């Protein structure tokens, strides 16, 4: 009998981006009451848990990943009472709630950073961050968002910010920082949250000598899976932090979890974050980044399962989130297209129909894999990236900091369409939306898809039900000869990447298919089928 405390091993976890999920008061910005009001939708979809991107007080220079107070709710999103109501209502509906924790950096408006600026060089307040003296930046590190990772204060010291200038990195060698985050964990655990998604989990500890590193700035830091990690990522010291957090979580009932956002390679190194005394899960970004080819997918699936099995952790799967181009658009580019830092009107545009077709096939493949899957809000509607957003609306700091070389991530963060014919497509009561919604989005609205056979929403809902019924999250992968096909328990999963239709084995009974089969009952190109044998 599976313990309830182990719910996360096969959970489907849905990411809500609070700014863009649902707006209850018509100011064009999503909010917590908006989310609470729409939770029944997630229950109906059939997910197990909801991960909320940050809703804490924040100047919003990085859409809330710049936290000014870890124990509050930004007035844009509501108040602590609204958070309590959201958690209670989710639990009533049988949904778990995971909140986002941002421990690598605070906002520059956090009381600690303000105190550090006021107290000056050499003060204990500055010891909570990474300040250094010098006429030049202390080293060659680049910010993930572009430009130097060092900013000078008026008194001449420099502080480190691996992200925006408004996101100073904390000094995790300082015991006070460690104590503070243990207290923050308890604060939210006491309010009933079921876990934490840990932002930039591979970044907290820096190489002691702040050794130079000249590779181009990316969150991956120019990772060479064979070589040593870059001096700002994946340092050995991060692990004892997560061990101490795990001890706190284990004092609470019901299975509270930690999930690492760690851009770490190879899979065996990432698996070190999910050893039995550390975190529970880590996002599988190599899977998200795998090309749409049978060889790439088979090898990332095998490597991920092997690495996680070796430490007894579930493998996770993900195709979209708030930092990447939505997979319905990403997959509409030719195979081999490198990772895109956003798309604008002047850039090559994806083939929308091909992208959606492949996205549906990719999702059905993902949801058949054993372990835990992450969905990003709107993908259940087949939502594409906004690929023609006028640049004047862009808010992602990467756009400015990269000198407009990167369009940034706004295109995947556009408020959701709920009702085709309502103002802001039902995102809120007013015709207001903090990022513009494309004029073509009525067709993606939830009310155009519910109860409509073959719609993307019905595909997701049916897949989640079958996944549960057949225990796919607890199963395994047994590859079959021939086409790209595997068995998971009593379900055969076939994805056709080739040009010719693929026949199913005799006696196979189709349970679900990402697109209709051809007239001869064969699987067409770019289609995934689940069949019972
Ligand atoms: C993570 C978040 C991203 C944010 C960055 C800095 O990568 O997912 O949205 O910009 O951390 O906090």
List C-alpha distances in Å: 431 to 23, 27, 376: 11, 9, 24
The H or E element that residue 511 is part of is strand 509-513
- Which pLDDT does position 1 carry in this prediction? 39
The answer to whether the CB of 169 falls within 8 A of the CB of 112 is no
Residues 6+ apart with CB under 8 A from 303: 266, 267, 286
Backbone angles phi, psi at 160, to 5 degrees: -85, 135
- Which pLDDT does position 214 carry in this prediction? 73
Residues 6+ apart with CB under 8 A from 197: 51, 98, 99, 100, 101, 259, 261
Which position among 82, 169, 199, 515 bears the catalytic label? 199
Which atom of ligand 1 has the smallest separation from the CA of 409?
9
Decide whether any atom of ligand 1 lies within 6 Å of the 145 Cβ.
Answer: no
Instruction: Output the CA 175–ligand 1 centroid distance in Å.
Output: 24
Which atom of ligand 1 has the smallest separation from the CA of 323?
9
DSSP class per residue in 417-441: P--TTSGGGGSSSSS--SSPPPTTG
The residue ranges of DSSP E strands in 161-213, in sequence order, are 195-198
Instruction: Output the CA 403–ligand 1 centroid distance in Å.
Output: 19
List C-alpha distances in Å: 123 to 116, 117, 160, 181: 7, 10, 17, 21
Q: Is 401 helix (H, G, I), strand (E, B) or coil?
A: helix
The two structure tokens encoding residue 298: 């088979």
Ligand 1: which residue has its CA nearest to atom 7? Answer: 200
The two structure tokens encoding residue 310: 């070796």
Which atom of ligand 1 has the smallest separation from the CA of 66?
12
Rounded Cα distance, 361 and 411, in Å: 22
Rounded Cα distance, 363 and 379, in Å: 9
Instruction: Output the CA 65–ligand 1 centroid distance in Å.
Output: 6
Q: Is the pTM of this model over 0.75?
A: yes
The H or E element that residue 317 is part of is strand 316-318
Decide whether any atom of ligand 1 lies within 6 Å of the 287 Cβ.
Answer: no
Rounded Cα distance, 503 and 524, in Å: 9
Instruction: Output the CA 170–ligand 1 centroid distance in Å.
Output: 15
Q: Is 25 helix (H, G, I), strand (E, B) or coil?
A: coil
pLDDT tens by residue, the chain, 533 residues: 345 899 999 999 999 999 999 999 999 999 999 999 999 999 999 999 999 999 999 999 999 999 999 999 999 999 999 999 999 999 999 999 999 999 999 999 999 999 999 999 999 999 999 999 999 999 999 999 989 999 999 999 999 999 999 999 999 999 999 999 999 999 999 999 999 999 999 999 999 999 998 765 556 545 666 777 889 999 999 999 999 999 999 999 999 999 999 998 889 999 999 999 999 999 999 999 999 999 999 999 999 999 999 999 999 999 999 999 999 999 999 999 998 899 999 999 999 999 999 999 999 999 999 999 999 999 999 999 999 999 999 999 999 989 999 999 999 999 999 999 999 999 999 999 999 999 999 999 999 999 999 999 999 999 999 999 999 999 999 999 988 999 999 999 999 999 999 999 999 999 999 999 999 999 999 999 999 98
For tokens 């969150």, the residue is 219
Q: Is 354 helix (H, G, I), strand (E, B) or coil?
A: helix
């Amino acid at each position: 009998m599976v313990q309830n405390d182990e719910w996360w091993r096969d959970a489907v976890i849905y990411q809500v981006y609070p700014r863009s999920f649902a707006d209850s008061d018509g100011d064009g910005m999503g909010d917590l009451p908006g989310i609470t009001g729409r939770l029944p939708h997630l229950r109906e979809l059939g997910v197990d848990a909801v991960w909320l991107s940050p809703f804490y007080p924040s100047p919003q220079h990085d859409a809330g990943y710049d936290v000014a107070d870890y124990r509050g709710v930004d007035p844009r999103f509501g108040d602590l009472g609204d958070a309590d109501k959201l958690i209670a209502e989710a639990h009533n509906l049988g949904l778990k709630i995971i909140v986002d924790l941002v421990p690598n950096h605070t906002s520059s408006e956090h009381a600690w950073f303000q105190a550090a600026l006021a107290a000056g060089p050499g003060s204990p307040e500055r010891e909570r961050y990474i300040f250094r003296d010098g006429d030049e930046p202390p080293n060659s590190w680049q910010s993930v968002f572009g430009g130097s990772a060092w900013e000078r204060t008026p008194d001449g010291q420099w502080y480190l910010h691996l992200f925006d200038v408004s996101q100073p990195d904390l000094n995790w060698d300082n015991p006070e920082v460690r104590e503070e985050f243990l207290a923050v964990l308890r604060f939210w655990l006491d309010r009933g949250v079921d876990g934490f998604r840990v932002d930039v989990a591979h970044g907290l500890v820096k190489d002691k000598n702040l050794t130079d590193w000249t590779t181009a700035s990316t969150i991956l830091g120019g990772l060479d899976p064979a070589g040593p990690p870059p001096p700002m990522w994946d340092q050995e010291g991060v692990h004892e932090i997560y061990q101490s957090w795990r001890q706190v979580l284990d004092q609470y009932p019901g299975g509270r979890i930690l999930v690492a956002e760690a851009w770490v390679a190879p899979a065996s190194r990432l698996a070190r974050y999910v050893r039995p005394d550390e975190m529970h899960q880590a996002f599988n970004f190599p899977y998200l980044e795998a090309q749409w080819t049978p060889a790439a997918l088979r090898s990332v699936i095998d490597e991920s399962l092997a690495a996680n099995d070796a430490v007894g952790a579930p493998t996770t799967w993900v195709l979209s989130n708030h930092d990447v181009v939505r997979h319905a658009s990403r997959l509409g580019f030719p195979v081999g297209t490198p990772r895109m830092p956003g798309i604008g009107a002047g850039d090559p545009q994806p083939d929308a129909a091909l992208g959606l077709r492949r996205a549906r096939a990719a999702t059905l493949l993902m949801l058949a894999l054993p372990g835990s899957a992450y969905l990003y809000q709107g993908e259940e509607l087949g939502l594409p990236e906004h690929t023609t957003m006028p640049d004047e609306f862009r808010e992602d700091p990467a756009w400015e900091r990269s000198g407009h070389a990167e369009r940034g991530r706004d295109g995947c963060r556009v408020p959701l369409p709920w009702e085709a014919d309502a103002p802001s497509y039902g995102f809120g009561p007013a015709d207001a939306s903090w990022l513009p919604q494309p004029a073509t989005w009525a067709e993606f609205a939830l009310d155009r898809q519910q109860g409509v056979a073959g719609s993307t929403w019905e595909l997701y809902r049916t897949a989640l039900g079958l996944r549960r019924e057949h225990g796919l999250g607890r199963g395994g992968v047994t590859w079959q000869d021939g086409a790209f096909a595997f068995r998971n328990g009593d379900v055969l999963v076939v994805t056709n990447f080739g040009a010719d239709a693929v026949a199913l084995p005799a006696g196979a009974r189709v349970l679900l298919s990402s697109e209709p089969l051809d007239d001869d009952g064969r699987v067409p190109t770019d289609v995934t089928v689940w069949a019972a044998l």
